[in-house]
Structures are given as structure tokens and as C-alpha cells.
Homo-oligomer: A and B are copies of this chain.
Amino acid sequence: MTSYAAPVTDTLFVLREIVGLGRNQPLPGFEEATPDLTAAILEEAGRFAAEVFHPLNQSGDRQGCTRHEDGAVTTPTGFKEAYNLFREAGWGGLSANPEFGGQGLPHTLAAAVNEYLSSANMAFAMYPGLTSGAIAAIEAHGQPEQKALYLPHMIDGRWTGTMNLTEPQCGTDLGLLRTKAVPQADGSYKISGQKIFISAGEHDLSENIVHLVLARIEGAPSGVKGISLFIAPKFLPDETGAATVRNNLSCGAIEEKMGIHANATCVMNYDGATGWLLGEAHKGLKAMFTMMNEARLGVGVQGLAIGEIAYQNGANYARERLQGRALSGAAAPDKPADPLIVHPDVRRMLMTARAFNEAGRALILYTASQADIAHHSPDEKVKQAANDWLGLMTPVIKGVLTDKGLESAVMAQQVLGGHGYIAEWGMEQFVRDARIAQIYEGANGVQALDLVGRKLALDGGRAISAFFAEVGKFCEENRADPALSVYTKGLKKGLGDLQQATLWLMQNAVTRPDNAGAASTDYMHLLGLVALGYMSARMAKAGAEGLAQGGNDTSFLNNKLVTARFFMDRLMPETAAHLARIVSGADSMMALEADAF
């Protein structure tokens, strides 16, 4: 009963106005991605997402995955056919290295396409999503022969990938990891142990599944410094690349979960499985983080993606459902009641979701473009600035956009009233699916600690200082413009709160680390609001400029101004509450004895 239409116009607006595609000089790495090609790819990706992935979203949720007695796993009806279409269309290799068969287009474009696919069917999009992360890790850390052996198959999509980190006794704290790797005479390792929560761990979509597995080499030091990363494929490839010998690893069970039922979340048993070291021994965590950082941005995209499709379906219902009368007098006096959209509180929920979606899309695509710049720019200073932005914003995008994704899904569900609670309407699935994004790839509290405990202080606070300077400059340059002052005023207030919070942390967190921990989630959301508000204000500026130039998309541009105004009116005021919480410190949070809880 749900529907989906990819927001291609909005993506193109962001690429043009915020990322700068087609403006000034071409961005490094974007040389091939002309505005016309980009538009054509996005249109086609949107159509594919809506027509191939989305029709399987509710049926996939209802049916789920099935594990058979031999450990094989079947995906829901229609998934295999749709995956083949996906593979044949080459969507999986969009931004992959042409050396191994990829199309070499910008990551920014892949992020946009990933949003569409995740909106249409998040559980499905995870299969190729995890493969992308594994590709990135192998490309960054693999030996040339490993790359040659695995990457072409994975980029082509005939093989998929996974990440194997979690064990029953260890989630966030990977130092507790027990899976063992015993060196063999031929240079391989025998891996033994149990991994849990392995997304796409076993399924019937691909010919082979390439597991990247964290394990401890026999005799390695304890803690995180003794962890190595291994490649352990389901089928062992021979020298010709043909994979026929079954490895000693298997899916022991599929977890029953709240949502993403169509993705097989597996218990994976490694019983002396053959694996090969990926990257250096004992430096597996670092190698895994290549994958994690990419995955974290991907999870932020999922937050946006669910927020977007939930918004669309909430808005459709609100326009059509007749119930009650407008407070200002009947809007449709010829009908038995007015459509829900006349009610301010219904709009409050939809506008909130919309404002976060549009700003979130801009923040994601702009950040993805910084990844492209960091990869491709010949200018070391530009590269450094791009890397700084990327490091600072990765936890924010993961943590804030997934929290907002759940909130948007809950609000859009609320628009449907009782129908929102009924499975066939599909809104409750969005809530259930969105919920995992706050948890996996590092729970959002871990993102917040990464931000406050690590990213803020890196290089003497260079990244956050650059952010302050950039946003401050924007406010300064535009505050005198009467069309923009309403945005710069709200943004400047938010920025001020963020700067105060940062100063407080500098003064209070070193002497008492719990003050940092107690502040972390609020700080992450405070930075998120300012970053999203900045994107919002930049879009308003572009909208105002477009209107002044007499653009023919007047209503689209006007709506950008309204949505940014709503952001300043209704969303930005939260920064003050975050600041107040942060400066209250850790006292009342830490005072109870553990057994008083």
C-alpha cells in the first residue's frame, strides 16, 4: 500500500547548489559526471528503486528469510530476480574502481542512489551496501592478488560481502573478541569462533559470499591490539578465480528481529574455516574502520531514506484523508470534511520530517563530496580540509540522521492515526526498519563518544574550528541581506550555543572525563542541528538567488525558503536545550549507585 517517488529534483538541486556540480570548475573526480549524465543516472536509479525494489518491500517484510536444515538461506520471493536486475544494470559498481570493472563515478552520486534504494527497500539495499563496504576494505588493504581475485566479482555483484565483528560477549568492546586464527603452512589461517548479528551473512542472491572476519591470531596480545582482519569466503576460489570448494563456515541461525526481516541477520559459525590475512597482522581494527567509516555514512543514508519515504506516505495520506475542519474555517466546504493537511499539527509532523530530510540530504551529499575530494584532490590543503570535514561529520551523520529517521517515521505513522498501526498500510514497517540504524555500525551513543572523545580534539581541534569559521563566515556575509537575515539569525544563535558547549567541554572534560560522556549525545545533536541548519540556510540562499534570477521553478524555490524558515523557527531552538543539558555536567547522571537502578 506504500508508494515511493525518488526526490530527484531535490537531489539535483543539492548537487548543483550545495555540492557545486556544474558550477565553477568541475570537482575533482567529477569530470565524467556532467550534470546531464548525473540527471540521467538519478532518474533511472529512481525509477529502478520505485519499480523494482519498492514492490518487494512489504512482501519481503512479511515473508522474511528462511534458513533450511543444511544452513542455506532463502531470501523472500522476488528478491533473487530483482537482485539480478540490479546486478545487470551495474548499480553495484557505480563508484567502484574502473580497474576492477567499476564505473568510477563519484561516491556522491552513489550516496544519492543509495538513498533511493534504501527508501524503496532498506532490507534489500543492505545486501549490496555491505558488499560496497567490503570492497572498500579490500581495495584499501588487500594485496594486489587479493584485489584481482575478489574485487571484479564483488563489483560485478556476482559475489557479495559481509562484516563479521560482533560475538556473543563483545559488541562495542572489540577487545573482548575471542575468534581465533591459527596460521597454516601455506600462509592461510584456520579460523574458529562464533560471530553474531551478521547482516547478509548467508543468502541465495550471489554465487559466493566474501566474509571479512575479525579474529585473534594464536598467541596475539589480548585487547584490541591483537586483532587481525581476514578474508574468509563461503567458497574458496582456486587460482582461476572459480569458487567451488565449500569453506568450513556456516549460518547457524537467523535472528528474529524487530524489522529488516528481508535481510538475513545470521549467527555465523567458523569451524576451522580457511581465511587469509587482509592487511597487517594485529592491525585488523584499523583495516576494519575503513569499512566502518564508509558503512557509517551508509547508515546515515538509511536514516534519511526511511525519513523520506515515511514522509512521502504520510503526506499522501494527509492530502487525501478527509477528517475534521480547518481551524480557520472549512477549506473544502463541498466535501464532508477537509483533508488532514489543513491541520497545523499534522503539518508540524510533516514539516519536521521534511526539513530534516532536505537538510539531511544536503549534509550527506556535501559530506560524500568531501570524500570524493579527499580521494582525488591534488591539493594537500584541500584534501586535508575535506578529510577534516569527513571525520567530524561521519559520527554526526550516522548518529543524528538515524535518530531523526526514527522520529520522522514515527511522526509520519502518527499522521495516519489508527491506520498507521496496521501492518498493511506499511507505516509501522518504516518505524521497525528505521530503528536498527540507530543501533548497528556503532550504536549512536558510540558515535557521540567518537565525536566528543576523539574527533573534536584531533589536530588541536582543527576540524571543529574550521566548521565554526565556515558557518560564522556564512552568517556574516549574509546577515545584511533582508531576504536571508531570518536564516542567519537562527543559524548564528545555534552556532553560538555550539561554541559555548565546545568551550565548556574544553574547560570541563579533561579534568573530569565523565563530563564529556554525559555531554556526548547532546553535543552530537547540537552539532548536527547547526550543520543541518547551515545546509538549510545555504539552500535558502540558493533559493532566494534562483528566485531573484527569475528561475522557472518558482514554487520549488519558494518551498526551499519556507522549509528553511521552518527549520529556524521550530528545529533550531533545540540547540539551547542541548547546551543547558551539557553544562549541567555529569553530577546528577553519575550519582546513583549501580544497584539503585
Contact = CB atoms under 8 A, between A and B. Distances in A.
B258 A431 contact: yes
A551 interface: no
B406 A555 contact: no
Contact of A588 (B173, B406, B453, B562): B562
Contacts of A196: 418
A365 interface: no
Nearest to A516: B327
A346 interface: yes
Given A323-B171, A345-B449, A345-B520, A581 B569 contact: yes
Contacts of A589: 344, 347-348, 351, 566, 569-570
Contacts of A438: 414
B351 A257 contact: no
A517 interface: yes
A contact patch SS: helix
Interface in A325-357: 327-328, 336-337, 339, 341-351, 354
Interface in A246-262: 255-259
A595 B559 CA distance: 11
A584 B597 contact: no
A78 interface: no
Interface in A196-223: 196-197
Interface string A562-597: 110110011001101100110011111111111111
B440 A521 contact: no
Interface string A168-210: 0111110110000000000000000000110000000000000
B348 A518 contact: yes
A289 interface: no
Chain A contact patch, size range:
35 or more
B592 A445 contact: no
Contacts of A139: none
A538 interface: no
Residue of A196, A339, A569 ringed by the most chain B CB atoms within 10 A: A569
Contacts of A574: 577
A348 B592 CA distance: 12
B597 A517 contact: no
A569 to B, nearest CB: 4
A503 interface: no
B428 A435 contact: yes
Contacts of A420: 439
Residue of A258, A349, A432 ringed by the most chain B CB atoms within 10 A: A258
B521 A421 contact: no
Given A257-B423, A573-B577, A589-B348, A559 B520 contact: no
21 contacts: A171-B417, A197-B418, A255-B422, A257-B428, A319-B595, A327-B513, A327-B517, A344-B518, A344-B590, A348-B518, A413-B435, A414-B438, A555-B593, A562-B592, A569-B585, A569-B589, A570-B581, A573-B576, A573-B577, A574-B577, A576-B576
